[in-house]
Structure 1
Amino acid sequence: MTTRTLARIIPGMNTSDGAGVKLRRTLGQSQFARLDPFLMLDEFSSDKADDYIAGFPSHPHRGFETVTYMLDGHMLHEDHMGNRGDLRPGDVQWMTCGRGIIHSEMPQQKEGRMRGFQLWLNLPAKDKMKPAAYRDVPAASMPWQEPLPGVRIKMIAGTLEIANHKYSGPIQAGGTEPVYMDVELAASQSLSLPVASSHNAFIYVFEGTLQSDGKDIPTHAAALLGSGDTLEVTAGAQGGRFLLIAGRPLNEPVAQYGPFVMNTAAEIDQALRDYRDGTLTSGGVQAL
């Protein structure tokens, strides 16, 4: 057993996206703030409607996957093929952009709290031009589990063994074999989590504080983990809640231009031409 160290901490950077939605970005602040196969992680969180009400009007994607995890509020997904998905508290939307999808994500509330995350997960070169896919994952299919006293987990993707019991999320994706879980620890609670040595991994703290590898991880920061097969964490005096996200690295070149993520500049140029010509989405959308 080899405990993973903290290789780097990326504090959340205040920015905006879409039509002016205010958010915090950790991974994806620049091309140097990625962790193969993860391209970006945004946290949106506000009680002020002006911070989120304009939403994310219709826009394209190609070449990667988006994972939206809603904690509070109500967001509506619509895409060019007529799919509609209501995201409510605890729900997840897993979208494989593949060859191309044009969609919108718009708030369905005019007041109250809107809070959640969007993760961008790269696709291997062989899958970048496959038909797009879309899936809504209701909160009921991801129940909170209590593997140990003072520990609650919600498995979204992948499988982990904790306290001699396997916990699996409803998403079991190929390619990068992602693991995505929400973990809540009581005050001063410690936890050991197995993380496959074949995977790159990071944690994102969004409530309370956390310590690992003898270092404090502040709230709204991503901690990139070093090599190993075990994560050791301890919550602060007020407890802590964090995302654990891991995936098999692709070790492929990344070329990105806004919402398009390919392997070469020539492929980006082709994506732009396809979008201008109206052929970005040829091939349609299939169910996951």
Structure 2
Amino acid sequence: MNREIQQVFNAQPSMDGAGVAIHRVAGFEKAAMDPILMIDELRSEHREDFAAGFPPHPHRGMQTLTYMKHGGIIHEDSLGNRGEIQSGGAQYMSAGKGIIHSEMPTQDTAGLHGFQLWFNLPAAQKMQAPRYRDLPVTELAHLAGRGFNLTAVSGDWHVAGTSNLEGPLSELAPQAALADLNLEPTVELTFAVQLEESVMVYIYNGDVDLGGNSYGERQMLLFGAGDTVSLKGGIHGAGVLLLRGRPIGERVVHYGPFVMNTEAEIEEAIRDYQSGRFAA
């Protein structure tokens, strides 16, 4: 059964880091987005919109995945990790019990277009050791077909009429998946999903046509029940992020960069950070 759209959200303009202009879709209280907590899109041709970047700041209890379409980002953290990704690459970090990191644009970046996604961690994994991984564009999985291009970062992608594609990032929990799809105008693509999964599509370029309705840039589409999703490129074609994940189904308590299950755990995270007990 093909899934139908149940909800549509518009990304809202906001600021983060040291004054970086972003558009954000927040899903901390949206059960239909579980296990995805948030999507930020960073997109500007003007360096002053993002030059100050994201100076050192803490996290606990969640994972981040940064995916760059254009431009470069440098990651550094309190575990001594340092990584740089350029156009088409991705960076993964599980904050676990606590980490401090920064994300700054490379000096040669004049324009920037990318995404940072927050994924929840189950309670049993929130206090595990932090992890980090770089994924340059050459490590990602790519599939080109008639009228479409698909790049898989995480998860298995079963596209009708083609061979399956598996993203290299297996660390995302629980069984979360991310792919980048570009569709030419009027081209339709169907991919398989698991019945228990949350399924979302974020449109970052052009428009898609679903059931005679058009949806455009910076809209997040949440789908209902079913085992397939079909997308059709609109008159301008489309660039979209495909997102899936098995819901965790646990209470989410969020305060700034900390995502836990109870208020007491948030208070503990703040105390641990202020007293210097985060990973170092």
TM-score, shorter chain, exceeding 0.5: yes
Kindly indicate whether the alpha-carbon contact (under 8 Å) linking 1:10 and 1:27 is maintained by their aligned counterparts in 2. Answer: no
Kindly indicate whether the alpha-carbon contact (under 8 Å) linking 1:6 and 1:213 is maintained by their aligned counterparts in 2. Answer: no
What is the CA distance between 1:109 and its match in structure 2? 2.7
CA distance in 2, matches of 1:34, 1:97: 23
Query: Which amino acid is the alignment partner of residue 16 of structure 1?
Result: M
CA RMSD of aligned residues (A): 1.5
Kindly indicate whether the alpha-carbon contact (under 8 Å) linking 1:77 and 1:105 is maintained by their aligned counterparts in 2. Answer: yes
Deviation string for 1:179-216 (max 9, x for gaps)?
A: 11000111110111111111101001111100224422
Partner residue of 1:79 out of 73, 77, 80: 77
What is the CA distance between 1:82 and its match in structure 2? 1.3
Number of equivalenced pairs: 279
Mean alpha-carbon deviation: is it higher for 105-114 or for 256-265?
105-114
Structure-1 residue corresponding to 2:158? 161
CA distance in 2, matches of 1:170, 1:130: 22
Kindly indicate whether the alpha-carbon contact (under 8 Å) linking 1:53 and 1:110 is maintained by their aligned counterparts in 2. Answer: no
Structure-2 residue corresponding to 1:207? 205
Structure-1 residue corresponding to 2:56? 58
**Partner of 1:252: helix, strand, or coil?**
coil
Structure-1 residue corresponding to 2:225? 227
Gapped regions of structure 1 (runs ≥ 5): none
CA distance in 2, matches of 1:68, 1:273: 28
What is the CA distance between 1:274 and its match in structure 2? 0.3
Structure-2 residue corresponding to 1:68? 66
Query: Which amino acid is the alignment partner of residue 5 of structure 1?
Result: E
The answer to whether 1:266 aligns with 2:264 is yes
Partner residue of 1:151 out of 148, 151, 172: 148
What is the CA distance between 1:280 and its match in structure 2? 2.4
Judging changes above 3 Å, is the alpha-carbon distance between structure 1 residues 33 and 104 closer, same or farther for their aligned structure 2 residues?
farther
CA distance in 1, matches of 2:261, 2:109: 41
Structure-2 residue corresponding to 1:3? 2
Kindly indicate whether the alpha-carbon contact (under 8 Å) linking 1:34 and 1:40 is maintained by their aligned counterparts in 2. Answer: no
- If the length of structure 1 is used for normalisation, what is the TM-score? 0.93
Structure-2 residue corresponding to 1:124? 122
CA distance in 1, matches of 2:273, 2:192: 42
CA distance in 2, matches of 1:23, 1:138: 23
What is the CA distance between 1:49 and its match in structure 2? 1.0
Deviation string for 1:226-246 (max 9, x for gaps)?
A: 111110111111111101010
Structure-1 residue corresponding to 2:103? 105
Structure-2 residue corresponding to 1:173? 171
Deviation string for 1:108-155 (max 9, x for gaps)?
A: 136621110000000000000000000000100114311x31111001
What is the CA distance between 1:35 and its match in structure 2? 1.2
Query: Which amino acid is the alignment partner of residue 252 of structure 1?
Result: E
CA distance in 2, matches of 1:248, 1:103: 27
Kindly indicate whether the alpha-carbon contact (under 8 Å) linking 1:202 and 1:245 is maintained by their aligned counterparts in 2. Answer: yes
CA distance in 2, matches of 1:214, 1:177: 32
Give structure 1 regions of 4+ aligned residues with deviation exceeding 4 angstroms: none
CA distance in 2, matches of 1:258, 1:174: 21
Structure-2 residue corresponding to 1:16? 15
Query: Which amino acid is the alignment partner of residue 127 of structure 1?
Result: Q
Query: Which amino acid is the alignment partner of residue 253 of structure 2?
Result: A
CA distance in 2, matches of 1:31, 1:253: 9
**Partner of 2:268: helix, strand, or coil?**
helix
Kindly indicate whether the alpha-carbon contact (under 8 Å) linking 1:37 and 1:176 is maintained by their aligned counterparts in 2. Answer: yes
**Partner of 2:158: helix, strand, or coil?**
strand
Gapped regions of structure 2 (runs ≥ 5): none
Structure-1 residue corresponding to 2:113? 115
**Partner of 1:26: helix, strand, or coil?**
strand
Kindly indicate whether the alpha-carbon contact (under 8 Å) linking 1:144 and 1:154 is maintained by their aligned counterparts in 2. Answer: yes
CA distance in 2, matches of 1:80, 1:263: 24
Query: Which amino acid is the alignment partner of residue 266 of structure 1?
Result: A
Kindly indicate whether the alpha-carbon contact (under 8 Å) linking 1:185 and 1:240 is maintained by their aligned counterparts in 2. Answer: yes
CA distance in 1, matches of 2:273, 2:36: 24
Judging changes above 3 Å, is the alpha-carbon distance between structure 1 residues 34 and 26 closer, same or farther for their aligned structure 2 residues?
farther
